Amino acid sequence: MKLVFEKSRPGHASVILPPLDVEKTELPESIGRQSALRLPELSETEVSRHYTELVHEVYGVNCGFYPLGSCTMKYNPRIDEETASLPSFTGAHPLAPAEAVKGCRKVLEEAASLLEEISGMDAMTFQPAAGAHGEFTGVLLIKQYHDARGDEKRRKIIVPDSAHGTNPATAAMCGYEVVNIASAPDGCVDLEALKNALGEDTAGLMLTNPNTVGLFDPNILEITRLVHEAGGLCYYDGANLNAIMGHVRPGDMGFDCVHMNLHKTFATPHGGGGPGAGAVGCKAFLAEYLPKSALMDGGGPIQVRGFAGNFLVVLKALTYILTLGREGIPQASETAVLNANYLMQGVKDVFKPAFDRICMHEFVLDLSDYKKETGVSALDVAKGLIDYGIHPPTMYFPLIVHEALMLEPTETESRETLDQVTEIFRKVREDGVREPEKLHTAPHSTVIGRPDEVAAARNPILKAQL
Amino acid sequence: MEHLEYQFSRSHEWVKEEDGLTIVGISDFAQNALGDVVFVNLPEVGDEVIAGEAFGDVESVKAVSDLVSPVTGTVAEVNEELLDSPELLNSDPYGSWIIKVENVTDTEDLLSAAAYEEYCETEA
């Protein structure tokens, strides 16, 4: 389809400006524009059709099955959007005097209290704008803790090789040296490798549990005990909280601080770059190091963003938690885990699971045998799924599984959908055996076929002459 | 079996001695597993590399992977051609060296070409 700039025709502009009601002034030449402002000119009908055309070219969770693992892409109930669009919230100004925004304060306090209960933490900040920002804030808590004690020899953060890539990046951003430890054959933390990595220079451990292959680490209490024994702190990456909320609490597993992706686990559509909210919780002994807004709270040790963070995302999370309630929250995670296991049982004789045991909210398929047999890769299969009308799962992650496809159906998919998906996986497998070439060039039914990812990465064209 | 003059690390780097320098690259198996390489992050001449630790990384369409040094020493030369043409690692992995190391004080336990071939069988 054409860009909005290509559709532009002089004089088609659809804005009727009100009459000027102030005295007209000319800008001095030194700061005036030297060339025309090249904004597209289209009528309102044309603008409306342009965006509708765009809608028809994308695929989202509202279009069909969307199983992106490791990054819960679940359906977000409409009621959460409705609450967030109430004018009394959208019209509130962050600089309004405290007595004028008591309702907003109440939302933050209420959300903090419920999330503390869910995570097993004692204090909370909503400043971080998303998950990686939350990790950064959480590891800064660990850093401040060691620094305040004068314990400056602690320079290393331990990260398992199955971790989300943001974990080592966060540790490096905070000035730490990253120690990567290999996973055990069962995909969980290798206790011996952990023991060898721990020492007087250990600042902490960053861990996701359930981990990125969708397995709950049965040694979690031993893991956090070992880290504490060595003098380090334990950071919980809450990316996979959707699997356990209402059942197990990071605080009870021995973690000292966590981030929760409110936009993943507790409603707010995401994946388009935000806004999100990476709420960070910590145990009482770290609370003094939490960020505070200089303008709202009179300042604290650190500030990672203005004011209270993305307030409306917190509001959506609060609405979600209150709507589901004490019974609904654990039921959501139970159903997420049940759906993942049901789908895994369905597809396990189509493609081999990387770890064939009860999984949590997501599981990983290993297509390396299938690739050897047919020459068809995980990428080809992912593209082939598109032709059957479903969104591909996450590919080539985690790195510890070759030819990986990671599926996370989430709690909102029905059994009928999961049965259909199983059937689609079976068909794509058969297509690859019968006509591998068809899968090498898939998808065939979309507006854009197979993009040349290599050319795009080697010779990116990042601007257009319009 | 080709490439008898090369030795290999278990993290799929090759090593060759030439003119008193230790030359390091990545194996054919490595480039094949990575897929099309689109970016290479290299150390600078004079940097210290440590056996078993990362000295740079390669980015393919699939993922970013560490380049692990098989030796401890000082970087004497860097193949800057790879910055503009990372695809050389795919098309000619044994001809495309990555770094040359001098003052080598320690070397990982390396595999012969034949032993490496067997090792790759089990990895694949």
As a whole number, the mean pLDDT across chain B is: 92
The tokens describing A430, both together, are 């058969």
CA distance B61 to chain A (A): 6
B85: closest chain A residue by CA: A458
Q: How many residues are recorded in chain B? A: 124
The pLDDT, as a whole number, for residue A459 is: 85
Residue B123's pLDDT band (boundaries 50, 70, 90)? confident
Structural domain boundaries in chain B:
11-123
Residue whose entry in the numeric block shows the structure tokens 């050389």: B88
As a whole number, the mean pLDDT across chain A is: 93
Residue A22's pLDDT band (boundaries 50, 70, 90)? very high
Could you please state the CATH topology (level 3) that the domain comprising A329-445 is classified under. Answer: Aspartate Aminotransferase, domain 1 (3.90.1150)
Mean pLDDT of A128-133: 94
Position A144 pLDDT exceeds 70: yes
pLDDT digits (tens, 9 = 90+) for A340-396: 999 999 999 999 999 999 999 999 999 999 999 999 999 999 999 999 999 999 998
Percentage of chain A exceeding pLDDT 70: 99
Residue numbers in B near A453 (CB within 8 A): 36, 61
| Residues facing B75 on adjacent strands | B101
The tokens describing A342, both together, are 């049901």
A180: closest chain B residue by CA: B53
Inter-chain touch B63–A457, beta carbons under 8 Å: no
Distances (CA, A) of A53 to A46, B72, B94: 10, 58, 49
Residue B124's pLDDT band (boundaries 50, 70, 90)? low
Instruction: Report the distance separating Cα A146 and Cα A230, nearest Å.
Output: 13
Report yes or no: B83 at the A interface, CB cutoff 8 Å. no
Mean pLDDT of A438-461: 91
pLDDT digits (tens, 9 = 90+) for A265-275: 998 887 666 68
Mean pLDDT of B59-85: 93
Instruction: Report the distance separating Cα B6 and Cα A459, nearest Å.
Output: 33
Mean pLDDT of A170-181: 95
Position A438 pLDDT exceeds 70: yes
Least confident of A34-38, A40-44, A80-84, B91-95: A34-38
CA distance B20 to chain A (A): 32
The pLDDT, as a whole number, for residue A420 is: 98
Q: How buried is residue A326: exposed, middle or buried, by Cβ count under 10 Å (0-12/13-18/19+)?
A: exposed
Instruction: Report the distance separating Cα A232 and Cα A151, nearest Å.
Output: 11
Instruction: Report the distance separating Cα A405 and Cα A353, nearest Å.
Output: 9
B86: closest chain A residue by CA: A458
Inter-chain touch A457–B61, beta carbons under 8 Å: yes
Of A165, A396, A454, the CB nearest to B36: A454
Which residues of chain A does CATH 3.90.1150.10 include?
329-445
Position A319 pLDDT exceeds 70: yes
CA distance A351 to chain B (A): 17
Best of A367, A458, A459 to disrupt the B interface (most B CBs within 10 Å) is A458
Inter-chain touch A454–B38, beta carbons under 8 Å: yes
Report yes or no: B45 at the A interface, CB cutoff 8 Å. no
For A78-321, CATH number out of 3.30.930.10, 3.30.450.20, 3.40.640.10, 3.50.50.60 equals 3.40.640.10
Instruction: Report the distance separating Cα A363 and Cα A239, nearest Å.
Output: 15
Least confident of A67-76, A86-95, A240-249: A67-76
Contact criterion met (CB below 8 Å) for B27 and B95: no
Residue whose entry in the numeric block shows the structure tokens 């004080």: B105
SS3 state at B3: coil
Cis before A451 (ω within 30)? no
The pLDDT, as a whole number, for residue B80 is: 95
Dihedral sign (CA A268, A270, A274, A276): positive
Report yes or no: B88 at the A interface, CB cutoff 8 Å. no
Position B2 pLDDT exceeds 70: no
Q: Pick the residue with more confidence: A452 or A247?
A: A247
pLDDT digits (tens, 9 = 90+) for A166-175: 999 999 999 9
The pLDDT, as a whole number, for residue A271 is: 66
Which residues of chain A does CATH 3.40.640.10 include?
78-321
Report yes or no: B36 at the A interface, CB cutoff 8 Å. yes
Instruction: Report the distance separating Cα A9 and Cα A337, nearest Å.
Output: 53
Position B1 pLDDT exceeds 60: no
* CB < 8 Å from B in window 201-240 of A: none
What is the DSSP code (8-state) at residue B111? B
Of A165, A372, A454, the CB nearest to B61: A454
Nearest CA to A263 out of A253, A272, A252, A250 is that of A272
SS3 for B18-86 is ECCEEEEEECHHHHHHHCCEEEEECCCCCCEECCCCEEEEEEECCCEEEEECCEEEEEEEECCHHHHCC
Residue whose entry in the numeric block shows the structure tokens 């679940």: A74
Position A88 pLDDT exceeds 80: yes
Architecture of domain B11-123: Beta Barrel (2.40)
Inter-chain touch A396–B63, beta carbons under 8 Å: yes
Give the contacts of A416 (CB within 8 A, at least 6 positions apart): none
